[in-house]
Amino acid sequence: MQVTDGDRLRAAPKPSLDLLTRLLREDLERVNQLIVGRMQSPVALIPQLAGHIVAGGGKRLRPMLTLGCARLCGYRGERHIALAAAVEFIHTATLLHDDVVDASDLRRGRDTASAIWGNKAAVLVGDFLFSRSFELMVADGSLRILEILSRASAVIAEGEVMQLATTGNTETTEAEYLAVIQSKTAELFAAASRIGAVLGARPAEEEEALDQFGRNLGTAFQLVDDMLDYSAREAELGKCVGDDFRGGKITLPVLLAFARGADDERGFWQRTLEKLDQRPGDLERAIDLVERRGGIAETLARARSYAAAATRALAPFPDGPERRALFAAAAFAGDRSF
């Protein structure tokens, strides 16, 4: 097996979320119970479909940021549980809506909710979870937190629509790509972290610092996500790669490979991503081109730089188990393989 740039960059032991999950174990258990409780409905399809995605073994990274940042800010009450659940419901609704396909789309390799129950059910159950999220926030009663999360929801939707407009367009700029991932992904990480400072009644500078922490961490997280989709190593490990390729999504690894590619390579990207004319062997060639043009290494390097910025944003907070666990989460976001 050839040793690649990506392999070299990722030779060190992987950072993990273990510190954070251990620190928050009890809180997280209560968040999970609340999530399961609040996704119930007399309409049987709702818990059925929501369960598929909510219980689907997500990392619960976003709610953990709310819990961890609240504790970092000295908050010792109970409100962070419901708000962490609200954050996860917004994320889940987004996932369900992101799975919606058009007739022209290629089916993904996975069993998405929309593939099993249909587009419409996925959309409507997403709406239900989104409404539940707002019910949880309203019951909490903080207009400031409602403001932060309703604003984030609007920005996420804008980001998703922006992404739709860049799909299949190899002329997308890096700035446009960054605007997409910062809206569709980083915004919720920023809001999830920021509300920790609101719960702890911390001054505006610390609220802003936690926003920057979450925003940079979220950007790193999405960059790695987009890198993993073209990772030869992941493919060898039997993980699912190529979703973005099959959907014609324009991500940084592709933008880099396109910009640095020879004419015939650009032709390849235009055929496969713009025209969605994909043939056997194309995904393998895409993975090879991304690797050879430095798309993996460069994307990973950028992710690490955002992760470092996330870490720096925590400077105003005192050292302690909370900050160390959040440091580790930032490192994980910038250097993970799942």
Distances (CA, A) of 98 to 7, 58, 141, 151, 170: 31, 16, 29, 19, 21
b/e string for 207-244 if b means 16 or more Cβ within 10 A? bebbbbbbbbbbbbbbbbbbbbbbbbbbbeeeeebbeb
Whose Cβ is closer to a copy of itself: residue 100's or residue 301's?
100
Whose Cβ is closer to a copy of itself: residue 156's or residue 197's?
156
Residue 37 found at the interface with a copy of itself (CB under 8 A): no
| Count of positions on this chain that bind a copy of itself (CB under 8 A) | 47
Alpha-carbon gap, residue 143 to 82, rounded angstroms: 15
Cβ atoms of residues 223 and 299 within 8 Å: yes
Find the shortest distance in angstroms from Cβ 37 to a copy of itself: 14
Q: Which of 106, 161, 237, 240 binds a copy of itself (CB under 8 A)?
A: 161
Alpha-carbon gap, residue 190 to 219, rounded angstroms: 10
Which residues have a Cβ under 8 Å from the Cβ of 179 and sit 6 or more positions away? 159, 162
Residue 131 found at the interface with a copy of itself (CB under 8 A): yes
In 3D, which of 64, 58, 66 has the Cα closest to residue 28?
64
Left if phi > 0, otherwise alpha if psi is -120 to 50, otherwise beta: which for 150?
alpha
Q: Which of 30, 58, 108, 123 binds a copy of itself (CB under 8 A)?
A: 123
Residue 151 found at the interface with a copy of itself (CB under 8 A): yes
Residue 118 found at the interface with a copy of itself (CB under 8 A): yes
Alpha-carbon gap, residue 62 to 53, rounded angstroms: 15
Helix (H, G, I), strand (E, B) or coil at 299: helix
Residue 249 found at the interface with a copy of itself (CB under 8 A): no
Residue 143 found at the interface with a copy of itself (CB under 8 A): yes
Find the shortest distance in angstroms from Cβ 249 to a copy of itself: 12
Residue 41 found at the interface with a copy of itself (CB under 8 A): yes
Residue 182 found at the interface with a copy of itself (CB under 8 A): no
Residue 240 found at the interface with a copy of itself (CB under 8 A): no
Mask of contacts with a copy of itself, 43-62, x by CB under 8 A?
A: xxxx----------------
Residue 274 found at the interface with a copy of itself (CB under 8 A): no
Residue 202 found at the interface with a copy of itself (CB under 8 A): no
Cβ atoms of residues 290 and 253 within 8 Å: yes
Work out the angle between the directed axes of helices 61-72 and 321-334 (0-180°, nearest 10). 150
Find the shortest distance in angstroms from Cβ 19 to a copy of itself: 33
Q: Which of 7, 135, 243, 274 binds a copy of itself (CB under 8 A)?
A: 135
Q: Which of 16, 21, 150, 278 binds a copy of itself (CB under 8 A)?
A: 150
Q: Write out the two tokens for 120.
A: 């419409």
Q: Which residues form the interface with a copy of itself (CB under 8 A)?
A: 41-46, 93-94, 97, 100-104, 118-121, 123-125, 127-128, 130-132, 134-135, 137-139, 141, 143, 146-147, 150-151, 153-154, 156-158, 160-162, 164-165
